[in-house]
Chain A
Amino acid sequence: MAREVNWERNHDPVGIWNGRGKAALVARGHSPTDRRWDGESLDKSLGAFMMIAVQNALDDAGITIDDVDGIIGSAGGQGNGQPLSDVWGPRPYFDAPYDSEDGLTHVTGQWLRQQMGFKNLRYINNHGDPVWNLIGQASQAIADGRAEVVVVTYPNGNLPGRYHQDPSNQARGPAVWPNTWGWGLSGQGFTFNQYCQKYGTNHDRMAPFVVQERKNGLLWEHSYYAQHEPGEFTEEDYLNGRMIARDLSIFDCDRPVLAAAAYVMVSADRAKDMKQKPVYILDHTESQFSPRSLVQTIDDTEEWTDIQAQRSYNGSGLKPEDIDIFAPYDGFAVFTQYYIEAFGWRGVKRGEAHDFYAGDISLKGPNPLNSGGGNMGTGRMRTVFITDPLEQLQGRAGDRQVTTKAEVAVTHGVLPITAGTVVMSTSPD
């Protein structure tokens, strides 16, 4: 099986995608959502959860394992290039198939093939990107004819202990710069503070956005909060959040959870045979930048996100007013405004996002921002950014179904410095 690299659409001008309308997202499947893996319950490992999600996605599409000829996934569970095993491993292992990290903190396509009995795979790629890029890559593979029925897998793990704590008293490689001066999440707060200075706003004005996201998330059955903490979250709760760094509270940081999701993507030809209404991919674009110097500034951030938005509009041929459903990433909540302003959704310009938050962004209003609730409303699994737009366009979002038109969706993430954008539509044209 050929190992594919450099499939991204990231050279300007990207132009209208030659695969436009040739691939469709048709079904989704989710595992249960837990806070952490306990390190011993094998039926709740990331591998076990991934198998549940894959089976649910196949059932949702009305197909079997034998129909599938491709698996594209994030093996790593975190999706940011740092395997969970580097954070929590090594550990004692179990009997096969749990005799390595694969199945516990990673889930490769090869492991799934072995465990679930896929027989007809001709394409496997454990590229390890965030979920937007995986949907983009699967769309490209289908449009190019390398696979016809693809399962996209996205496991996200969380184990015991505090997240990402680094005990070292030495810093090496790129870590010498931040770590020597104790820089970390302070970076998110710093850029946000520059934004506030530039446009005369402040951190408290984030409250309506984060509160609305939690409301939306509570209406999604797979949300961590819906399953485990269904109580109301108020503006007062937000404003009293413990500060992690200046201008960055605990409620701006997504809560790490353990969950897996899978998607069925097919060629436009096969889409007609599926149980669910197809949602066509009109475009995918990707981008990766580096700061002009050591620390990412508001100037870097606005320049990068402008390029991301322009690239997506150039690739899809759409305009801001064509976007019905918009799902900009929020994990950290303090950078969602960069995306809204860059894409100009609902006419929002640079510096206006907090005014927009103060208006009506409710589900049943005219501007249902992140109708799935984002990570803030669901936990750090990211998959609501695919599942919610899919369900909105299929008209099966249930209590979350927006009352505005829902024919075209744009979902965008992960960071300003590296992102993927996917444009979906109920029509292939």
Chain B
Amino acid sequence: MARPIVPVPDPATQPFWDACNEGKLIVQYCSVCDRRQFPPEAACRDCGFNFHLTWQETSGRAKIVGYSITYDSRLVQWHPLQPFLNVIVALEEDPVINFHTNLIDDFGTNLSEEPDIPIGATCEVQFVEAEPGRMIPEWKLVK
């Protein structure tokens, strides 16, 4: 499925998007603060510098924290898909780190009634094409 809105990388996020194109979900890691960081930024939010900031591959496994449903978005490109599902998942090895997903494989879009979203269920990352040459992370339930 073509995505309504595609991301345009910038210097801080380019490595993340490049990794997505290679099928890897990476986040930043500051070794002096011993913390992962997502979304990517030019410096570590805790120590304030990039001296110890590297990229770390994740397991790509995450648990469902909660969800929302959008009925009337300010994002015009999403209007044809309304109402659509917005799920938040937290990384299995570090639940502070969270991501957006629409869980499209499991629930589709154009929800006619509120779906039964299993809070706490495990998902795994998959990469879907937002436009030719641009993969983005999405999640699907581990059955």
A residues within 8 Å of B by Cβ?
163-174, 176-187, 189-190, 193-194, 197, 242-247, 290, 292-295, 297
The answer on a CB contact under 8 Å between A182 and B84 is yes
B107 within 8 Å of A by Cβ? no
Q: Which residue of B70, B76, B84 contacts A165 across the interface (Cβ within 8 Å)? A: B76
The answer on a CB contact under 8 Å between B71 and A190 is no
Chain A residues in 8 Å Cβ range of B75? 166, 179, 182, 184
In whole angstroms, what is the CA distance A243 to B71 when docked?
A: 7
Q: Which residue of A172, A173, A174, A246 contacts B69 across the interface (Cβ within 8 Å)? A: A246
Q: Which residue of B3, B70, B76, B119 contacts A186 across the interface (Cβ within 8 Å)? A: B70
Chain B residues in 8 Å Cβ range of A164? 74
In whole angstroms, what is the CA distance A89 to B76 when docked?
A: 18
In whole angstroms, what is the CA distance A167 to B68 when docked?
A: 22
The answer on a CB contact under 8 Å between B98 and A293 is yes
Chain A residues in 8 Å Cβ range of B101? 181
Bitwise, B3-35 to A at CB < 8 A (1) or not (0) is 111111110010000000000000000000000
In whole angstroms, what is the CA distance A151 to B3 when docked?
A: 49
The answer on a CB contact under 8 Å between B10 and A173 is yes
Q: Which residue of A182, A245, A293 contacts B97 across the interface (Cβ within 8 Å)? A: A293
Chain B residues in 8 Å Cβ range of A186? 68-70, 86
Q: Which residue of B3, B4, B10, B90 contacts A172 across the interface (Cβ within 8 Å)? A: B10
Chain B residues in 8 Å Cβ range of A243? 71-72
Q: Could you list 20 examples of A-B contacts with CB < 8 Å?
A: A170-B6, A179-B5, A180-B5, A180-B6, A180-B136, A181-B102, A182-B70, A183-B68, A184-B70, A184-B73, A184-B74, A245-B68, A245-B72, A245-B86, A293-B38, A293-B39, A293-B97, A294-B38, A295-B88, A297-B98
In whole angstroms, what is the CA distance A174 to B42 when docked?
A: 12
Bitwise, B97-137 to A at CB < 8 A (1) or not (0) is 11111100000000000100001000000000010000010
Evaluate whether A165 and B74 lie within 8 angstroms (CB atoms) in the complex, with A180-B3, A190-B68, A245-B68 already known: yes
The answer on a CB contact under 8 Å between A169 and B5 is yes
Q: Which residue of B6, B10, B100, B136 contacts A178 across the interface (Cβ within 8 Å)? A: B100
Q: Which residue of A168, A194, A197, A297 contacts B5 across the interface (Cβ within 8 Å)? A: A168
The answer on a CB contact under 8 Å between A171 and B10 is no
Q: Identify the closest chain A residue to B136 (Cβ).
A: A180
Chain A residues in 8 Å Cβ range of B96? 292-293
Q: How far is the CB of B109 from chain A (nearest CB, A)?
A: 9
In whole angstroms, what is the CA distance A180 to B2 when docked?
A: 11
B141 within 8 Å of A by Cβ? no
The answer on a CB contact under 8 Å between B10 and A182 is no
The answer on a CB contact under 8 Å between B98 and A182 is no
Chain A residues in 8 Å Cβ range of B97? 293-294
Evaluate whether A290 and B45 lie within 8 angstroms (CB atoms) in the complex, with A181-B86, A182-B73 already known: yes
The answer on a CB contact under 8 Å between B68 and A176 is no
The answer on a CB contact under 8 Å between A182 and B5 is yes
Chain B residues in 8 Å Cβ range of A171? 5-8
Q: How far is the CB of B136 from chain A (nearest CB, A)?
A: 6
Chain A residues in 8 Å Cβ range of B86? 181-183, 186, 190, 245
In whole angstroms, what is the CA distance A379 to B75 when docked?
A: 23
The 5 tightest CB contacts between A and B, nearest first, are A181-B100, A186-B68, A176-B7, A246-B69, A182-B78
Q: Which residue of A163, A165, A183 contacts B100 across the interface (Cβ within 8 Å)? A: A183
B43 within 8 Å of A by Cβ? no
